[in-house]
Structure 1
Amino acid sequence: MPEESIGQPNLNKKIKIGLKWNLINQVISQFIFIWFSIYLARLLGPQAYGLVGMVTVLSGFAVIFVDFGFTSSIIYYQIEAEKKLSSIFWFNIFAASIIYLIFFILAPTIAKFYNEPQLVKLTRVICFGIIISAFSSMQATLLSKEINFKKKVIIQWFSTIVSYSVGFFLAFKGYGVWSIVFMSLVNNFVNSVILWLTSSWKPSFYFSLEELKGLTKYSTNIGATSIFTYLTRNLDNFIVAKFLGQTDLGLYTNAYRLMMLPVTNVAGIFGSVLFSGFSKLGDDLNKMADIYLKTVKIISFVTFPLMIGIFSISQDLIMIMYGHKWMGAVPLIRILSLLGAVQSILFLNGTIFNAVGKPKVALYTTIVLYLFLIVGWIIGLKLDGIIGFTKAYLIIAGLGSVFILYNAIRFINLNLFNVFQVIKKQLFGSLLMGCLIYILNRFFLIQDINIRFTVNILLGISFYVSYSFLFQRDMISIIKGLKSKSG
Structure 2
Amino acid sequence: MSDNLRNKMFSGMFWTLLRQTSLQMFSLVEGVILARLLSPSDYGLLAMPAFFMAISGCFIDSGFGSALVRKQDRKPIDYSTVFVTTVCMTAFFSILLCACSPLIADFYNEPILIKIICANAALLFLNSFLSIQNTRLTIKMDFKAQNLFRVITNITIGITVIICAFCGMGVWAMVWPNFIMPFMNGYLYYRHDPWFPGFKFSWKVWREFFGYGSKLLVSNLITTTFDNIYPLVVGKKFSASDLGYYSKAQSYASLPSFTLQTVVGPVAFPVMCSISKDEQRLQEAYQRLVALTCYMTFPMIVGLAVLAEPFVMVLITSKWEAAIIYLQVLCFACMWNSFNVLSLDVFQVKGRSDLFLRLEIVKKMLSIVILLVSIPFGLLIMCYGQVIAANVSTFINVYYIKKVLGMGYWQQLKNILPSFFYAASMGIVVYFLLMFVKSYVLKLIVGFLIGVLYYFIISEITKSSEWDYLKRLFKDKVLIILKKSQ
Output the TM-score relative to the length of structure 1.
0.94
| Pairing 1:83–2:77 present | yes
What is the deviation of 1:189? Answer: 2.9
> 429, 440, 446: which is aligned to 2:433?
440
What is the deviation of 1:485? Answer: 4.6
In structure 1, what is the Cα distance between the partners aligned to 2:159 and 2:184? 13
Q: Which residue of 2 aligns with 1:431?
A: 424
| Pairing 1:21–2:15 present | yes
Higher mean C-alpha displacement, 79-88 vs 168-177 = 79-88
1:411-441 residue CA offsets vs partner (Å, 9 max, x unmatched): 2221332121112221112111111122223
Q: Which residue of 2 aligns with 1:3?
A: none
Question: Is the 2:44–2:240 Cα contact (8 Å) retained in structure 1?
Answer: yes
In structure 2, what is the Cα distance between the partners aligned to 1:282 and 1:420? 22
In structure 2, what is the Cα distance between the partners aligned to 1:8 and 1:281? 11
Q: How does 1:415-426 map to 2 (within 5 A)?
A: 415-426=408-419
What is the deviation of 1:371? Answer: 1.1
Change (3 A) 1:132 1:243: same
What is the deviation of 1:389? Answer: 0.6
| Pairing 1:395–2:388 present | yes
What is the deviation of 1:235? Answer: 0.9
Q: SS where residue 347 of structure 1 aligns?
A: helix
Q: Which residue of 1 aligns with 2:470?
A: 479
What is the deviation of 1:454? Answer: 1.5
Question: Is the 1:22–1:269 Cα contact (8 Å) retained in structure 2?
Answer: yes
Task: Tell me the amino acid that sits aligned with residue 164 of structure 2.
Answer: L
Q: Which residue of 2 aligns with 1:302?
A: 296
What is the deviation of 1:9? Answer: 4.2
What is the deviation of 1:457? Answer: 1.6
Structure 2: segments with no counterpart, 5+ residues: 481-486
1:193-219 residue CA offsets vs partner (Å, 9 max, x unmatched): 322343353122312222211121111
| Pairing 1:329–2:323 present | yes
| Pairing 1:208–2:199 present | no
1:164-192 residue CA offsets vs partner (Å, 9 max, x unmatched): 22212111111121111122221233223
Q: Which residue of 1 aligns with 2:484?
A: none
Q: SS where residue 201 of structure 1 aligns?
A: coil
Q: Which residue of 1 aligns with 2:26?
A: 32
> 407, 417, 430: which is aligned to 2:400?
407
Q: How does 1:151-162 map to 2 (within 5 A)?
A: 151-162=145-156
> 237, 240, 244: which is aligned to 1:246?
240
| Pairing 1:456–2:450 present | no
In structure 1, what is the Cα distance between the partners aligned to 2:399 and 2:445? 39
Q: Which residue of 2 aligns with 1:146?
A: 140
Question: Is the 1:126–1:185 Cα contact (8 Å) retained in structure 2?
Answer: no
Q: SS where residue 462 of structure 1 aligns?
A: helix
Task: Tell me the amino acid that sits aligned with residue 393 of structure 2.
Answer: G
Change (3 A) 1:23 1:456: same
Q: Which residue of 1 aligns with 2:364?
A: 370
Q: Which residue of 1 aligns with 2:126?
A: 132
What is the deviation of 1:159? Answer: 1.2
What is the deviation of 1:60? Answer: 2.8
Amino-acid identity (%)? 23
Structure 1: segments with no counterpart, 5+ residues: 1-6
In structure 2, what is the Cα distance between the partners aligned to 1:472 and 1:52? 46
What is the deviation of 1:162? Answer: 2.1
Change (3 A) 1:116 1:409: farther
Question: Is the 1:93–1:131 Cα contact (8 Å) retained in structure 2?
Answer: yes
Change (3 A) 1:190 1:408: farther
| Pairing 1:100–2:91 present | no
In structure 2, what is the Cα distance between the partners aligned to 1:309 and 1:130? 36
1:249-271 residue CA offsets vs partner (Å, 9 max, x unmatched): 11111111101110011133111
In structure 1, what is the Cα distance between the partners aligned to 2:101 and 2:299? 43
In structure 2, what is the Cα distance between the partners aligned to 1:272 and 1:221? 20
In structure 2, what is the Cα distance between the partners aligned to 1:8 and 1:302? 23
In structure 2, what is the Cα distance between the partners aligned to 1:459 and 1:9? 36
Higher mean C-alpha displacement, 27-36 vs 105-114 = 27-36
In structure 2, what is the Cα distance between the partners aligned to 1:70 and 1:142? 12
Higher mean C-alpha displacement, 311-320 vs 79-88 = 79-88
| Pairing 1:227–2:226 present | no
Q: How does 1:164-179 map to 2 (within 5 A)?
A: 164-179=158-173
Q: SS where residue 95 of structure 2 aligns?
A: helix
In structure 1, what is the Cα distance between the partners aligned to 2:224 and 2:463? 35
> 271, 294, 299: which is aligned to 1:277?
271
| Pairing 1:349–2:340 present | no
Q: SS where residue 203 of structure 1 aligns?
A: coil
| Pairing 1:467–2:461 present | no
In structure 2, what is the Cα distance between the partners aligned to 1:183 and 1:472? 47
Change (3 A) 1:12 1:452: closer
In structure 2, what is the Cα distance between the partners aligned to 1:343 and 1:205? 37
Question: Is the 2:51–2:225 Cα contact (8 Å) retained in structure 1?
Answer: no
1:218-277 residue CA offsets vs partner (Å, 9 max, x unmatched): 111122222111112111111111111212211111111101110011133111211101
1:305-343 residue CA offsets vs partner (Å, 9 max, x unmatched): 111111111111111121112111111111111122222
Task: Tell me the amino acid that sits aligned with residue 417 of structure 1.
Answer: W
Question: Is the 2:302–2:423 Cα contact (8 Å) retained in structure 1?
Answer: yes
In structure 2, what is the Cα distance between the partners aligned to 1:199 and 1:409? 42
| Pairing 1:53–2:44 present | no
What is the deviation of 1:482? Answer: 2.4
Task: Tell me the amino acid that sits aligned with residue 447 of structure 2.
Answer: N
What is the deviation of 1:79? Answer: 4.4
Output the TM-score relative to the length of structure 2.
0.94
Q: SS where residue 39 of structure 2 aligns?
A: helix
Q: SS where residue 357 of structure 1 aligns?
A: coil
1:110-146 residue CA offsets vs partner (Å, 9 max, x unmatched): 1011100000000000121211111011111011011
Higher mean C-alpha displacement, 10-19 vs 252-261 = 10-19
Change (3 A) 1:389 1:473: closer
What is the deviation of 1:281? Answer: 0.9
Change (3 A) 1:338 1:153: same
